[in-house]
Amino acid sequence: KRSYTITLLPGDGIGPEVISVAKDVLVLAGSFEGITYEFREMLLGGAALDATGVPMPDETLSVSKQSDAVLLGAIGGYKWDKNEKHLKPETGLLQLRSGLQVFANLRPATVFPQLVDASTLKKEVAEGVDLMVVRELTGGIYFGKPRGFGTNENGQETGFNTEIYSAHEIDRIARLAFEIARKRRGKLCSVDKANVLEASMLWRKIVTELALEYPDVELTHMYVDNAAMQLVRYPKQFDTVLTNNIFGDILSDEASMITGSIGMLPSASIGASGPGLFEPIHGSAPDIAGQDKANPFATVLSAAMLLKYGLGEERAAERIEKAVLDTLNRGFRTADIYSAGTKLVGCKQVGEEILKSV
Amino acid sequence: KRSYTITLLPGDGIGPEVISVAKDVLVLAGSFEGITYEFREMLLGGAALDATGVPMPDETLSVSKQSDAVLLGAIGGYKWDKNEKHLKPETGLLQLRSGLQVFANLRPATVFPQLVDASTLKKEVAEGVDLMVVRELTGGIYFGKPRGFGTNENGQETGFNTEIYSAHEIDRIARLAFEIARKRRGKLCSVDKANVLEASMLWRKIVTELALEYPDVELTHMYVDNAAMQLVRYPKQFDTVLTNNIFGDILSDEASMITGSIGMLPSASIGASGPGLFEPIHGSAPDIAGQDKANPFATVLSAAMLLKYGLGEERAAERIEKAVLDTLNRGFRTADIYSAGTKLVGCKQVGEEILKSV
Ligand SMILES: CC(C)[C@H](C(=O)O)[C@@H](O)C(=O)O
Ligand SMILES: CC(C)[C@H](C(=O)O)[C@@H](O)C(=O)O
């Protein structure tokens, strides 16, 4: 019997609702595979701000670090939007990512055949899209120093940030991307702005050197502006996409919208050691919070990624993935993915249907 | 009789072919409105590198500065892709933009009804899209200092750039965007990453303050990752989009691809005074250069923007815009926008057909 400690971070908005469903699914899928869990629920984001005055309490980080994996719902909301930087829910999330040293953010963008019509792209363009964005998550302009506010030589107020990458930071994320590409369709596209930025020039140099160790992976390079176009033009050209923190933020969101399955997409953030952080890519949707309208599929699939990438429990992960597909095939939909001829249900009932299929 | 001096920068790849067409159209449209020109052709990009050893010769800048407007074809090509930074064609373009102080890059993304099927988006999503990206062009991470390569405390090589904006830089581009929004549908969406970046926080603050001077314009703010999604989900929600240099690079390319009309889209880069720089948004397409396959519509429409924004010659500009639509209506298409039932012709013939319609 294998037992794991899981930190749950419900967060804000619809976070608690989707985490509750995912927890039940984790437990049931685990029970069939001889897995038990000890769950610890901690505060993050706006919920933490309201209760403790900071968006990521020390205890949240220390408990997370001591656990085998962390499952996060969503953070943020209008209520805290005007807060100063150190009191923003987002700052808490960034502190958690940094504290856990989860430098690799894996964001699959997959079109579910049952939902292909939800894409705004033509069916023949969207169907079959199956790509993985590997985004650097603990470096670049998100964390680079110096940053802040100042005054320039003309006495004008300035705001500034530093995009900086070291060879080591690039090497470790690129290695992971090559490994992932190898297990997928063997194609890696590294996205940068090496025609303008020095940080991107180093990025491209390190990635190119590393390619010698992965002769079985086909490496290409693309400028970020072109990548933003190519995702719209012909998304099926991509298998694995490697990019930095800010470009990954933008491109992974674009890619997920292209699938039309945005309420369905999970993510995994992992480091060299220590627990991974797993979360849906969608936000906290404060407008529908507490109304049993949230789509829990993405969080449930994040729980599957937790089992697969976080705990190495592939069989339990597959159980969940199959249960999700089965639930879709049986026609159950939340409002965001509803279409004529399917069954519109709430967050809880989707959870119950997934449990039936596990 | 009004006379203007125009600097032509054909550049690389298909640049000379599309500039040649646009020049003829400028001349003819001008002749009907009592306008004459003196053209001066100068070197930029790879063409300049090959001839003079630098991507933007001093003479190119000084002649450009002395003229009333600058019309550019395209720069770059595989041949110079591995050049060191200061010997890249792109560096020449950035030096020109900076030298001319054209801080505002206007990039319309319009769906031509005749070409709506060329979009990969569903017809009902693409048709009627008509937005304008106002991109800051001479600041931000493209030009910020310090930049370069270094070594960190662990002896690791680093590459770094600085994203920096001053209140003045934000104010002048935002003012222009408000003015443009006012002349369009009165909606301005400012795109930033103010939940993470200090440079964006200052951006949002200045834009918000300025909104008080434009009570007739409806201002909204959007995070860049969300904007990348919303452009795919529902592009018609946008009228005027204001953003920084790097986000504008990415989002304007994404927006243009969404229209399906990428071979059709012009751009204008303007400053507080001095000549503007007008260029198609597409690249130099080295693979089809010299084969009479290039699509000259975007450069011809850039010439129309030159007349309108650069010289204040609205009537001549409208003549060109009408001639373009008329040529499309008469069914003439280059290969990139060809569809069954239309007439496939080369770059030169498109030019001749536009001349017939001027
Ligand atoms: C909430 C925000 C700080 C975060 C980011 O920019 O990384 C989010 O957009 C994401 O992609 O997870
Ligand atoms: C060629 C390159 C330097 C340029 C940019 O990034 O500005 C181009 O992508 C553009 O958008 O005009």
pLDDT digit string, tens, across residues B61-74: 999 999 999 999 99
Q: Is residue B93 in contact with ligand 2, taking CB distance under 6 Å? A: yes
For range B261-283, the mean pLDDT:
95
Burial class (CB within 10 angstroms; exposed 0-12, middle 13-18, buried 19+) of B299: buried
Average pLDDT value for residue range B41-52: 98
**Superfamily classification of domain B1-102+271-358:** Isopropylmalate Dehydrogenase (3.40.718.10)
pLDDT for A78 equals 92
**A74 Cα–ligand 1 center, Å:** 10
B140: helix, strand or coil: helix
Q: Where in chain B is the domain with CATH 3.40.718.10?
A: 1-102+271-358, 106-260
Given this model, what pLDDT does residue B175 score?
A: 98
Task: Note the pLDDT of residue A1.
Answer: 75
Q: Say if the Cβ atoms of A197 and B141 lie within 8 Å.
A: yes
Helix (H, G, I), strand (E, B) or coil at A109: strand
Residue bearing the CA closest to ligand 1, atom 8 = A249
- What pLDDT shows up at residue B81? 87
From the list A122, A158, A257, the residue facing B229 with the nearest CB is: A257
CB-facing half-sphere around the CA of A171: CA atoms within 13 A: 10
Position B291 scores a pLDDT of 98
pLDDT computed for residue B261 by the predictor:
84
Contacts of A122 in chain B (CB under 8 A): 120-122
pLDDT at A54: 98
CA-derived radius of gyration, chain B: 20
Which ranges constitute the DSSP H helices of B32-157?
A: 46-52, 58-66, 89-100, 123-126
> Does ligand 2 come within 6 angstroms of the Cβ of B90?
yes
To test the contact with chain A by mutation, choose from B133, B198, B220, B337 the residue with the greatest count of A C-beta atoms within 10 A, namely B198
The 10s digit of each residue's pLDDT in A202-235 is: 999 999 999 999 999 999 999 999 999 999 999 9
User: Which residues face A37 on adjacent strands?
Assistant: A4
**Residue to substitute from A93, A225, A245, interface B, most B β-carbons within 10 A:** A225
Beta-carbon separation of B253 and A226 below 8 A? yes
pLDDT at B23 over 90: yes
Q: Alpha-carbon distance B47 to B60, whole Å?
A: 12
> Does the annotation count A142 as an active-site position?
yes
CA quadruple B230, B235, B238, B243: dihedral sign: positive
| pLDDT cut 90: percent of chain B above it | 98
pLDDT greater than 80 at residue B1? no
| pLDDT tens sequence across A36-79 | 999 999 999 999 999 999 999 999 999 999 999 999 999 999 99
Q: With bands split at pLDDT 50, 70 and 90, how would you rate the model's confidence at B343?
A: very high
- Neighbouring-strand partners of residue A149: A159
- CB contact under 8 Å between A160 and B198, yes or no, is yes
Q: Are strands B69-74 and B2-11 parallel, antiparallel or unpaired?
A: parallel
Q: Can you name the residues that pair with A50 across neighbouring β-strands?
A: none
CA torsion angle A48 A54 A60 A62 (round to 10):
-170
Residue with tokens 């320039």: A152
Q: What is the pLDDT of residue A147?
A: 98
Class of domain A108-261: alpha beta
> Which of B12, B81, B93 gets mutated to test ligand 2 (max ligand atoms within 8 A of its CB)?
B93
Q: Which of A23, A88, A193, A308 is catalytic?
A: A193
Q: Which of A156, A168, A257 lies closest to B167 in CB terms?
A: A156
Which of the following CATH numbers is that of domain B106-260: 3.20.20.80, 3.20.20.70, 3.10.20.30, 3.40.718.10? Answer: 3.40.718.10
Give the whole-angstrom CA distance, residue A309 versus residue A303: 10
Whole-number Cα distances in Å, B30 to A161, B16, B35, B37, B274: 47, 21, 5, 8, 21
CA angle A246, A240, A172 (to 5 degrees): 65
Given a contact cutoff of 8 angstroms between Cβ atoms, the answer to whether A247 and A192 are in contact is yes
| pLDDT over 90 at B163, yes or no | yes
Contact (CB, 8 A) for A298 and A276: no
Say if CB A275 and CB A65 are below 8 A apart.
yes
Query: Which of A90, A107, A133, A282, when mutated, tests ligand 1's pocket best, judged by the most ligand atoms within 8 Å of its CB?
Result: A90
Q: What are the residue ranges of helices labelled H in B4-45?
A: 15-31
Whether this prediction's pTM lies above 0.85 is answered by yes
d(CA A303, CA A306) in angstroms, rounded, equals: 5
Residue A119's closest chain B neighbor by CA? B233
CB of B67 closer than 8 Å to CB of B275: yes
CATH 3.40.718.10 domain position(s) in chain A: 1-102+271-358, 108-261
Residues of chain A scoring pLDDT < 50: none
